[in-house]
Structure 1
């Protein structure tokens, strides 16, 4: 220990050791070093601390940039990625234009471009309609000025910027995934992606009333907020659908307008749906005699059902929907007290008396937000009674260990009292052990 201490007694030696010579190297040299050096934690640290991967701000000689240079600046940003950053690590830049107009652009792996307009001067969110046309140019005879972007994320686009962004998008080719979020003034959205577009996500656009969508290859549709009207053309075989609507966006709902949406999700594999939406939109459509007999979500394997509570009427509505889900393997039930409450629909005989059905493939039910343990137990008994199935019931508790519900023999429950006279069996909860089967994996739509 003494020898080690003496080796650092010279202040000049300490200064030489502490000084950072690497960060002073030119970017070109650092780029070459990173291109031949293994990408371990040391390489990443060098890149981050020298700013090679993250440019916080880009200005033109200290003066604001011109808005008409927007497209060329984003183009340069995209073009220089491979040349200056050979390992294709994510990078970020901030463009300052006149009138306090700021764009934060970030470029990630697999040609993912994020354009964020939330900084700078935010005027009153004037409502507007937005038309986005993707992948419709003749790429065989296209100009060299086109940019290849696979995933495009647009944040906080407003009325004054939508045309600017639309013009830029026309120069992108092969966009496979489009994400639109936090566009407060957006009232109507029209997206045409005849080729290549496979995924569309629209979230946190509080004033959105209508979506027109034409996309031959679309497989994933995710949307949240308040229910809007969907007009779908050439959208037939969606596989991943998230309809996370906390309530209706209109004073009057016409279920017939959502027939195209119902047909489009018929072959879905993963679905998120609120209980109120089934009661007021899909329920009336599915309750017709023809749909009762022939309509099935025959490929649905994972369902995330969100409801305001799990009282008897809500359970009956859920089970009425489950009758159409013959291939369901995993069910996730989340209680959200902020979700839109629908008055009891007990007058509908088809909801209150759910006929027996089959769900032979159902292996696990994950629940969260239940106030009472007895509600989870009753859910299990309803599943046994209606569908003749007893899946693994897992309760997810925020900040606590998940636990499983076990049904125990009567002789082991001597002296124990049940919380409700409705229960037919005795139960206990045990902390969940590590799941090695993958049955309790996280739902794809969970945050």
Structure 2
């Protein structure tokens, strides 16, 4: 039987769908590719970069999941000569904003300031549907042309709890200010970022991947989950050990902690320095990790480096944690310290801080669910 309905104009098809109950209307996506295309058809608009905030707010405010003529989850906004914004409304109050990428080889550098859920800034704004909608915001490829418009738009999302910033080339300096609700912040792959200022006393999750910037936290966050993946090293040549102090204060109470490579690389030469004993005493006076229960070591080149790192960790951990090691990310080995007088286990290494001799052995873990907590602290090499 020939399908005459699917060849009708979009407007007429939308009218047909609008006459059906939502439960029946949604089933039309199974009729043909034409109907599926109709449900996924993006809304397209044109304007200037100054129009971006109002365009996105209007797109969100007009969204109605149960109205087939207003349930478009995709939005494309063309601005300027080459600017393009792709927006997607995802389930669970998530908004994805992807901007057209600038020349990654030679981007224009810029500074970016974001103020979130600030009641003082919102006092002059009347509530709109968009201010009650977005709780998770993913920003990808924001550049010097779009950063100001994005800041203006984000300031109206008063219920925003999770902010993810990804792949912003040219971004050199960033400041994030949240008085109330920001709980989670993720910054990935912004290769030019050198300075990061964060003011958010309720922040619980902070995930960072990229060259390590000059980190300026205004509060010592009570983080539950922290990740610092700076295996490319620092973002500036004048980095000193004291520049890492504020970071240590923010992660000291973390329940889930992931550190990758550069942030903990072992300097073998430091162990033969004349002031090594003095440095060890200073380490013991520092605040220890009070809540660290599990350590997972992953990706180390050799067993000796694993042992050296474990010995360093024992000086800053308040309680004896469960230590797991894996070379392939799948098979786990339990790392156990045994008395050096035990002849059944070969002596592998010795503590360079305390000069006490220890032996170690690895025990293969057969059932991961019997180990302990749901998440372990991870240190990757």
Using the size of structure 2 for normalisation, the TM-score is 0.75
Report how many residues are paired.
Answer: 351
Instruction: Please say if residues 67 and 97 of structure 1, whose CA atoms lie closer than 8 Å, have aligned partners that are also in contact.
Output: yes
Instruction: Please say if residues 198 and 217 of structure 1, whose CA atoms lie closer than 8 Å, have aligned partners that are also in contact.
Output: yes
Deviation at 1:270, TM superposition (A): 0.3
Q: Structure 2 matches for 1:276-425, cutoff 5 A?
A: 276-279=262-265, 289=281, 291-292=283-284, 295-305=287-297, 309-326=301-318, 358-359=320-321, 362=322, 365=324, 367-369=326-328, 383-385=336-338
Deviation at 1:232, TM superposition (A): 0.8
Deviation at 1:80, TM superposition (A): 1.9
What is the SS of the residue equivalent to 2:113?
strand
Instruction: Please say if residues 101 and 121 of structure 1, whose CA atoms lie closer than 8 Å, have aligned partners that are also in contact.
Output: no
Equivalent residue in structure 2 for 1:219, among 204, 208, 211: 204
Encode CA deviations 1:356-414: one digit per residue, 9 max, x unaligned.
xx33xx2x7251349xx9xx8xx75x623389xxxxxxxxxxxxxxxxxxxxxx9xxxx
Partner of 1:15: 2
Encode CA deviations 1:165-196: one digit per residue, 9 max, x unaligned.
11112222121111111011001110001110
Separation of aligned partners in 2, 1:436 and 1:232? 36
Separation of aligned partners in 1, 2:76 and 2:104? 16
Partner of 2:162: 177
Separation of aligned partners in 1, 2:305 and 2:198? 35
Q: 1:445 to 1:294 in 2, by over 3 A?
A: closer
What is the SS of the residue equivalent to 2:47?
coil
Instruction: Please say if residues 337 and 361 of structure 2, whose CA atoms lie closer than 8 Å, have aligned partners that are also in contact.
Output: no
Separation of aligned partners in 1, 2:32 and 2:153? 30
Separation of aligned partners in 2, 1:444 and 1:427? 19
What is the SS of the residue equivalent to 1:77?
helix
Q: 1:221 to 1:23 in 2, by over 3 A?
A: farther
Instruction: Please say if residues 188 and 208 of structure 1, whose CA atoms lie closer than 8 Å, have aligned partners that are also in contact.
Output: yes
Partner of 1:195: 180
Separation of aligned partners in 1, 2:260 and 2:222? 21
What is the SS of the residue equivalent to 1:192?
strand
Q: Structure 2 matches for 1:39-118, cutoff 5 A?
A: 45=30, 49-51=35-37, 53-56=39-42, 58-59=44-45, 64-82=46-64, 91-118=73-100
Instruction: Please say if residues 99 and 121 of structure 1, whose CA atoms lie closer than 8 Å, have aligned partners that are also in contact.
Output: no
Deviation at 1:258, TM superposition (A): 2.0
Q: Structure 2 matches for 1:219-298, cutoff 5 A?
A: 219-246=204-231, 247-279=233-265, 289=281, 291-292=283-284, 295-298=287-290
Separation of aligned partners in 2, 1:442 and 1:236? 20
Coordinate RMSD, CA, aligned? 4.3
RCO comparison, higher one (Cα < 8 Å, 6+): 2
Separation of aligned partners in 1, 2:295 and 2:230? 15
Worse-matched range after superposition: 306-315 or 193-202: 306-315
Please say which structure displays the higher CA radius of gyration.
1
Separation of aligned partners in 1, 2:21 and 2:161? 30
Instruction: Please say if residues 77 and 85 of structure 2, whose CA atoms lie closer than 8 Å, have aligned partners that are also in contact.
Output: yes
Separation of aligned partners in 2, 1:174 and 1:21? 43
Deviation at 1:29, TM superposition (A): 5.3
Instruction: Please say if residues 95 and 104 of structure 1, whose CA atoms lie closer than 8 Å, have aligned partners that are also in contact.
Output: yes
Partner of 2:353: none
Instruction: Please say if residues 218 and 238 of structure 1, whose CA atoms lie closer than 8 Å, have aligned partners that are also in contact.
Output: yes
User: What 5-or-longer segments of structure 2 have no aligned partner?
Assistant: 271-275, 350-358
Instruction: Please say if residues 275 and 306 of structure 1, whose CA atoms lie closer than 8 Å, have aligned partners that are also in contact.
Output: no
Deviation at 1:152, TM superposition (A): 1.1
Q: 1:175 to 1:53 in 2, by over 3 A?
A: farther
